[in-house]
Amino acid sequence: MRAAAFLALLLLLQTASAQDWVISSKEGRAEAGARFEIMVIAPPGQPHPDEIGVHLTVDVAEIALTLQPAGPAQGGRRMYAGTMPISAAGPVTLRLADQPSNVLVIVALRRDAVGSMTGSYGAYEREPPLSENDPMYFVVGTRGGTSARFQLSFKYRLFDVDVGIGQERPWLSGLYFGYTQNSLWDLSTESKAFRDTSYRPSLFWKWERAGESRALFDGARVGLEHESNGGEGDISRSINIAFVRPEWRWQVGQGGTFAFTPKIYAYLDKEENTDIDDYRGYVDWRARFESGNWIATTVLRYGTAGKGSVLLDLSRRIRDMKFGPVSTYLHMQFFAGYGESILDYNIKNKSQLRFGFAIVP
């Protein structure tokens, strides 16, 4: 491999004009999401810059990348280093952005191609910009009239650590926009009307512990969230909160995991429902257990007036193929207590047991 790279470099030097810059790679390959280096040879009499811009073409997308020096200039040559974009796979073409140069081809490799497909993101893989957030499901029950409950949820990472502003300020790669929508659908009425829908946009910063490093938490989220039902007058409900969600995870038994992720919040605005803390309190106590194809999740709320609720979800995966947490699951949900929807935050209806499907449990 090195001999071939050396011969290619000699050929480039012979064919390049006197004013062209020459770029080459010792290895001719790099891992997606990992550090890589290139050699830059300047025309005679021209100094090497303190940083150098390159354009990478990945499939049909062109990515601007800034490389930093990996050592001092020697004999008209200097090594520069950067991070290969996480989206890169296969041949990647590279050329200098501000100087005339040859086109260099580097083969980008995935360290864990299976992890890329299953969403098992490791040190060299991150979740895609658009990904799941809270569970997504559709369940139906018949107690007190047939009704359905369904939820959609996603999050979008606003910056990437390997390009643009995220490369300059890596902490921004933890900034997300989230959105969750939960609806109660009354199927027993003639018009099949929706009883209530809550809309929850959020902006939060997400951090996860890397590898075997020690930290107080395994992960955390800090952010702002708005929740409302879009109603008017007497049926209008809305709150604004600031929240922090620490995350702890443990291995249990043979391949099982247990996660404790309480969501602790303070109300910034609750004018339309001033006593909502009597029923919700200030913490959503969340716990999750996963083993094999089975996943169980519970959320407990306990208000300042001694009133609260419990939500229990139980899922079993029934599809062999899985992309991260996304698959097909049989899903059971049990709810008891106050506030199954934000409209009825202070009303205790009959407990509900519903069955259906989930794509994210």
| Same-fold call for 2-109 versus 127-360 | no
CATH superfamily of 127-360: Phospholipase A1 (2.40.230.10)
* In the chain, domain spans: 2-109, 127-360
* Half-sphere exposure (Cβ direction) of 359: Cα atoms closer than 13 Å: 11
Query: What class does CATH assign to 2-109?
Result: mainly beta
Task: Report how far Cα 260 is from the mean position of its chain's Cα atoms.
Answer: 19
Q: What is the pLDDT of residue 60?
A: 67
Give the pLDDT of the chain (361 residues) as one tens digit per residue. Answer: 454 454 444 444 444 445 689 999 988 888 888 899 999 999 988 899 999 999 888 876 788 899 999 989 988 899 999 988 877 878 899 999 888 999 999 988 865 433 333 333 443 346 788 999 999 999 999 988 899 999 999 999 999 877 778 777 888 889 999 999 999 999 988 878 899 999 999 999 999 887 666 678 899 999 999 999 999 999 999 999 999 999 999 998 877 899 999 999 999 999 999 999 999 999 999 999 999 889 999 999 999 999 999 999 999 999 877 777 888 999 999 999 999 999 999 999 999 999 999 999 9
Q: Do 150 and 194 meet the contact criterion of CB atoms below 8 Å apart?
A: no
d(CA 147, CA 194): 9
d(CA 329, CA 295): 10
CA dihedral in degrees (123, 5, 45, 20; nearest 10)? -90
Q: What is the pLDDT of residue 18?
A: 52
Provide the 10 A C-beta neighbour count for residue 189.
12
d(CA 159, CA 163): 8
Per DSSP bridges, beta strands 29-31 and 104-109 are parallel
Per DSSP bridges, beta strands 90-96 and 175-186 are unpaired
